[in-house]
Amino acid sequence: MTVFLVIIVLALLAVTGWQMSKIFQLSKGPGAESSEIANDNDNRQQAKLMLWFMIFLYVGMAYSFWHWSKLYLPESASEHGNEVDTLMFISIGLIMVVQVITQALLHWFAYKYQGKKGNRALFFADNDKLEFIWTIIPVITLAGLIIYGLFTWSDIMNIGEDEDPIVIEIYAKQFSWQARYAGEDNTLGEANVRFIEGINTVGLNVNDSYADDDKITTELHLPVGKKVLFKFRSQDVLHSAYFPHFRAQMNVVPGMVTQFAFTPDITTAEMRNSDYMVDKVKTINEIRKENSEILMAEGEAPLDSYEFDYFLLCNKICGDAHYNMQMKIIVESEEEYNQWLSEQDEFAAVMESQE
């Protein structure tokens, strides 16, 4: 009720101010120049302001590119990621060229053709040549981008029968991820949320023999240079599996299975040793050191030093703890991957241990 009354009071004050401005205009008399009609002096001022705003716009744009470019993601860690980056930078380049030209013309014309007393603007109803030019150029440009994007998307989504990818299921629930690896048969067992009970947290069908050798983990390990086919399921709400360093993302929808595949081509160790990441980690640890000194002065524990890791993130706002829904990803050699996978318990063995 109080908020409603405040809104009413503010609205009445606004109406009062508007009425007072009208009374002020009427009190000037019939001979006074109306401030609502721009004169030559007003037009000159506005024209100059347009030029200054154009300069401000371009300076701000250049500064933003220079200052914030350090926040770009590092080079892609997947084979298809370079194509995605190329498509993105082509799009940005085209947008920037058009933006620079059109904004320059807009502000310059506002200055050059400023209003002057006695001048009359040239009017014509249409110009077929101009309309053809500004229609066909965007059509050709957008068609090229769309076709290029479709070919890139097709390369990512279409998996050849001879590629024999590793099959991994990513299971999402508020607010964590689990990975399920197919066993020696490279076939995932049947799963459904109706089968969830006790330690069977991802809902595997205990009567399906294909599920016996599946392995469920809370950490995602991937072999470098090997194609991985991800299948996504959600237990509760809409999530989105986001692999920023691999330039991959897929919605995880309750009641259906979505999928995509990519081939990681940079190991975790290699990314940690890249110049970009060494510099980034150094900067973050310097900030953490300063904050740790403040925390220790207040009697609290210091922050741990930061070390880079790939992470799977949720890119849909799925609830209160959405920000913390992540799973560590380790990209390693195929030998290290096989060694790690052999140490994980199979689903059948886990179920038998609980009987």
Distances (CA, A) of 121 to 43, 115, 116, 214: 15, 9, 10, 76
pLDDT value of residue 71: 81
Convert the pLDDT of each residue in 244-290 to its tens digit.
999 999 999 998 999 989 999 999 999 999 999 999 999 999 999 99
CA atoms within 13 A on the CB side of 131: 5
- Reported confidence tier of residue 36, pLDDT bands at 50, 70, 90: low
Instruction: Output the DSSP codes for 63-104.
Output: HHHHHHGGGS--S-SBTTHHHHHHHHHHHHHHHHHHHHHHHH
Distance, CA of 329 to CA of 177 (rounded, Å): 11
Distance of CA 10 to the CA centre of its chain: 39
pLDDT value of residue 30: 58
Reading phi first (left if > 0) and then psi (alpha if -120 to 50, else beta), residue 52 is in alpha
| Residue 175: cis peptide before it, omega within 30 degrees of 0 | yes
Q: Report, as an integer, the average pLDDT of 109-122.
A: 84
Over 90: is that where the pLDDT of 151 sits?
A: no
- Reported confidence tier of residue 35, pLDDT bands at 50, 70, 90: low
pLDDT value of residue 125: 78
pTM exceeds cut of 0.75: yes
What does CATH list as the number for 165-270+305-354? 2.60.40.420
Q: Enumerate the domain spans of the chain.
A: 2-24+39-115, 165-270+305-354
Distance, CA of 225 to CA of 99 (rounded, Å): 40
CA atoms within 13 A on the CB side of 69: 7
pLDDT value of residue 199: 86
Task: Tell me the three state secondary structure of residue 205.
Answer: coil
Q: Report, as an integer, the average pLDDT of 233-245.
A: 93
Cα angle at 268 between 262 and 271, to 5 degrees?
A: 95
Query: Lowest mean pLDDT: which of 19-28, 80-89, 234-243?
Result: 19-28
Instruction: Output the DSSP codes for 280-328.
Output: HHHHHHHHHHHHHHHHHHTTPPPPPPP---EEEEE-S--STTGGG-EEE
Over 60: is that where the pLDDT of 331 sits?
A: yes
**Contact indicator for 159, 259 with CB cutoff of 8 Å:** no
Over 90: is that where the pLDDT of 21 sits?
A: no
Distance, CA of 47 to CA of 319 (rounded, Å): 49
Distance, CA of 241 to CA of 124 (rounded, Å): 54
CA dihedral 68, 74, 79, 80 (to 10 degrees): -10
**Contact indicator for 179, 218 with CB cutoff of 8 Å:** yes
Over 90: is that where the pLDDT of 232 sits?
A: yes
Q: Report, as an integer, the average pLDDT of 79-86.
A: 89
Q: Report, as an integer, the average pLDDT of 138-155.
A: 87
